[in-house]
Amino acid sequence: MSERIFGKPIITQVEMQRRIKELGRRISIDYEGKDLLVVGVLKGAFAFFADLIRAIRLPVRVDFIMVSSYGVKSKSAGRVKVISDLTADIAGQDVLIVEDIVDSGLTVNSLKKNLLSRRPKSLRFCALLDKQERRKIDVVIDYVGFKIPNKYVVGYGLDYQDKYRNLPYIAVLENVDEE
């Protein structure tokens, strides 16, 4: 694959850190006095997750779940498979799921069904990015970092063919064929 040149960041590091602090503050208020479990959805959410939990001023616990949704050609698989599951039971717990980006909504919808069957006390979703235009299923995202246009983005955890996750900002990757 040839090297790609990115345009300007559509979300800079400074903008991201400011917004994450706000999200952290809101989550800290909403879950005050509760025993919160924050779950990162791998791999895409890892960078956002690490910054978000440090902006939450509560003694949270963390866990991770890895799901497959997009293949190497960045096409939606349409169905979400759990590749690596949570390490503990979530029954009776307040759970906040942290996603990188919500696109069609299939991943969140499928995760929600899966996790609700485990009977948590509460289940909410937080996503750094929201591409509302591409929604196929109506899903409720309780905490959204940024609404973005219908472009394929990389960086800050988000990949193209498993690369570019280490870009410290969000950039648009041109000429990517999404379905």
Block residue for tokens 């979400």: 80
CA separation (Å) from 77 to 32, 47, 95, 107, 178?
38, 23, 26, 10, 11
The continuous run of DSSP H or E covering 28 comes out as helix 13-30
Angle separating helix axes 46-55 and 13-30, nearest 10 degrees: 60
> To the nearest whole angstrom, how small is the minimum distance from the Cβ of residue 110 to ligand 5GP?
8
User: 49-78: which residues touch ligand 5GP (CB under 6 A)?
Assistant: 69-70, 76
- Enumerate residues 88-107 that contact ligand 5GP by CB under 6 A: 99-107
Q: Specify the 3-state DSSP secondary structure of 89.
A: coil
Candidates 60, 90, 153, 170; binder of ligand 5GP (CB under 6 A) is: 153
Q: Given CA atoms 128, 132, 138, 142 in this order, what sign does their dihedral have?
A: positive
Question: How far is C-alpha 4 from the geometric centre of its chain's CA atoms?
Answer: 24
Q: Does 103 participate in catalysis according to the annotation? A: yes
Asked if 44 is part of the footprint of ligand 5GP (rule: CB under 6 A), the reply reads: yes
Question: Measured from the CB of residue 168, what is the shortest distance to ligand 5GP in angstroms?
Answer: 15
| Closer residue to ligand 5GP (CB): 72 or 91 | 72
Q: CB 135 → ligand 5GP: shortest distance, Å?
A: 8
Of the pair 57, 81, the CB lying nearest ligand 5GP is at: 81
Q: Which of 94, 100, 103, 130 is catalytic?
A: 103
* Footprint on this chain of ligand 5GP (rule: CB under 6 A): 44, 69-70, 76, 99-107, 152-154, 158-160
